[in-house]
A and B are shown apart, each in its own frame.
Chain A
Amino acid sequence: MFAVAMLAILICMALLIARAFTGPTVFDRILAINSFGTKTVLLIAVLGFMTGRPDFLDLALVYALMNFIGTIAVLRFTRYGDLSAFDRVLEAEHHTDPNWP
């Protein structure tokens, strides 16, 4: 029963890798890699149950977290070309705020 889910996850991974390589735009690649991260989370969860030792779900949580951070960083980069250039936009937005540094 877990084998079915595992097989589906592996097939989905293959399809996502194909999309990540053929992706015409940058955003297709980001989309594929973001989904791939979710698939690795699922793979770890299902793998734990397949081997009968579901003790390592901390790892799944770390994967989900790191995947999210990576996606946000990549999107910041594509949008502003720099990880800190976003600050200028924020600064312009807050130029009326006296507390803004």
Chain B
Amino acid sequence: MILDVLSWLLLSGGAVVLVLTGFLILRMPTFYTRLHAASVNETLGPALILIGLALQTGDYANGFEVLLKLLLVLVFLLLTGPVASHALAKAAITNLVMPGQFKRIQSQEQQERERKEQR
């Protein structure tokens, strides 16, 4: 009973997170703000929903196996999601320049050029 209530809370919390961050991904003005929303969408939402599902596995005959697989999926998502977000941000920073950040990137490039010329 307590597990059911807890699982319900986690599932609905995950649902709220998913919908909110989905709207943020659609409505945020620049790429990096969208990335911020998306990384929450990729870690917190699945974590809440999968843990909520894991609390329900007691009702099934092969519950332990299902629990193990759910945790495996969760670990995999938590491992790859932030890595993919990081790679995305890095690729975006090298390829595309946002309005507010143009100066900074250009100065970095100049610094590196100067360093190389000194070498």
Residues of chain A at the chain B interface (Cβ within 8 Å)? 1-2, 4-5, 7-9, 11-12, 15-16, 18-19, 25, 27-28, 30-32, 34-35, 38-39, 41-42, 45-46, 49, 54-55, 57-58, 60-61, 64-65, 67-68, 71-72, 75, 78-79
Residues of chain B at the chain A interface (Cβ within 8 Å)? 7-8, 11-12, 14-16, 18-19, 21-23, 25-26, 31, 34-35, 38, 41-42, 45-46, 49-50, 52-53, 56-57, 60, 62, 66, 69-70, 72-73, 76-77, 80-81, 83-84, 87-88, 91-92, 94-96
> CB < 8 Å: which of A8, A25, A58 contacts B69?
A58
Give the complex CA separation of A64 and B81 in angstroms: 9
Do most interface residues of chain B lie in helix, strand or loop, or is the interface mixed?
helix
**B88 touching A35 by the CB < 8 A rule?**
no
**B72 touching A78 by the CB < 8 A rule?**
no
**B38 touching A25 by the CB < 8 A rule?**
no
**A1 touching B87 by the CB < 8 A rule?**
no
Smallest CB separation, A92 vs chain B (Å): 13
**B34 touching A19 by the CB < 8 A rule?**
yes
Contacts of B77 in A (CB 8 A): 38, 41, 64
**A60 touching B73 by the CB < 8 A rule?**
yes
**B76 touching A45 by the CB < 8 A rule?**
no
> CB < 8 Å: which of B19, B42, B73 contacts A34?
B42
Smallest CB separation, B65 vs chain A (Å): 9
**B91 touching A75 by the CB < 8 A rule?**
yes
Give the complex CA separation of A34 and B35 in angstroms: 11
Give the complex CA separation of A34 and B96 in angstroms: 19
**B53 touching A49 by the CB < 8 A rule?**
yes
Pull 16 A–B residue pairs with CB atoms less than 8 Å apart, ordered by A.
A2-B11, A4-B15, A5-B15, A19-B25, A31-B25, A31-B31, A38-B41, A38-B46, A39-B18, A55-B66, A57-B70, A58-B69, A64-B73, A64-B80, A75-B88, A79-B94
